Homo-oligomer: A and B are copies of this chain.
Amino acid sequence: MAILKTPLAFTGNPLDRASEKRGDVHWLAEKRAEKSCRILPFWRTQPLLFGDQEGQGPFELGFLDAQTLCDLGVPDGEEVLLGLHGSAARFARDVSTLEDPSLVGPLGAFREARPAAALLAGPEIAILAQGKALLEWHARTGFCSVCGGRTVSNEGGYRRTCTACPAEHFPRTDPVAIMLVTDGDACLLARNRRYVSTSIHSTLAGFIEPGESIEEAVRREVFEEVGVRTGTVRYAAAQPWPFPFSLMIGCYAEAVSKEILVDGTEIVAARWFSRREVRDILNGLHGDVSLPRPEAIAYHLVREWAEE
């Protein structure tokens, strides 16, 4: 089992990132000034979503023109170029200094990004991921980690330079290994301490550390978290995960030992599930155990294995 067939949430961004042009300040200013330019505001990591007055769908990303934003009294803030839609530019703007986010009320509402993702069409979810990850990186990179000086954004938001030293800073993407451990007709699902619901069981996952390959990170994390040794690791798919700016690298890992010893800190419970049990969980027929939502790659790693 390898290579997922299902398109994953947060992938499929339809915009042309125009990365070869965004270093040109004149081009950027022109694109920003065009009437066709649209700007997606984010308030404290929440994107604006259009929808009807009662909060009913269909929903779409709340791209507005500069004049409308100005008329509404939406403040200035860090802006990043998302890319081009045809020849029209699309930006995202951090409007976190806005005190009353309800002033956009007639148009829609700012919504938490993760539930928002479940309300949007695929291409829009991907744009949301790009904008959120970039703006969160900017919000955390106002100062230079090398010297402590102030930094300023350039290249349409894909670089920050220090005003006090020669350092340049580029958007950060944290690679995470996420893996379904399998043993023939069984797979390992675990309950993480952070999960709100006690029924949710999922794959294991962890950040890839300096000096590790993906496969090495998979084997280390599995052993640390549940004490199981794994052998063959197969890449399955990757998913941008803007919480705040990770890249989930999904894999299948074959167990070479069976005994489970949970670490007790991150993982509080784990056990082997038969393929039949997993199918029951997927069909909602297993009372005590549920899986993460389909926005998460974990769901698809489990489902495609179960349906194999």
What is A's interface to B at a CB cutoff of 8 Å?
8, 10-11, 13, 17, 19-20, 126-127, 129-131, 133-134, 137, 140-151, 158, 167, 169-175, 207-216, 220, 224, 235, 237-240, 242, 245, 247, 249, 263, 265
Contact at B175–A175, with CB atoms within 8 Å?
Answer: yes
In the bound complex, residues from chain B placing their C-beta under 8 Å from that of A237 are: 213
A211 contacts which chain B residues (CB < 8 A)? Answer: 10, 13, 126-127, 129-131, 133-134, 240, 242
Query: What separation, in Å, do the CA atoms of A145 and B20 have in the docked complex?
Result: 27
Q: Which residues of B sit under 8 angstroms from A141, Cβ to Cβ?
A: 145-146
Q: How far is the CA of A245 from the CA of B207 in the complex (A)?
A: 14
Residues of chain B contacted by A126 (CB below 8 angstroms): 211
Point out which of A207, A213, A214, A239 has the most chain B C-beta atoms below 10 A from its C-beta.
A213
Q: How far is the CA of A126 from the CA of B263 in the complex (A)?
A: 26
A171: chain B residues at CB < 8 Å are: 209-210
CB distance from A125 to the nearest CB of B (A): 10
Using CB atoms, name the residue of chain B closest to A128. B211
For the complex with contacts A19-B220, A212-B240, 17 further pairs of A-B residues with Cβ separation under 8 Å are A20-B265, A131-B211, A133-B210, A137-B210, A140-B145, A140-B167, A142-B146, A142-B148, A170-B207, A172-B172, A173-B175, A173-B210, A210-B242, A211-B242, A213-B240, A214-B238, A249-B249
Q: Which residues of B contact A20 (CB under 8 A)?
A: 224, 263, 265
Q: Say whether B133 contacts A145, CB under 8 Å.
A: no
Q: Bound state CA distance, A131 and B137, in angstroms?
A: 26
Which of A131, A174, A265 has most chain B Cβ within 10 Å? A174
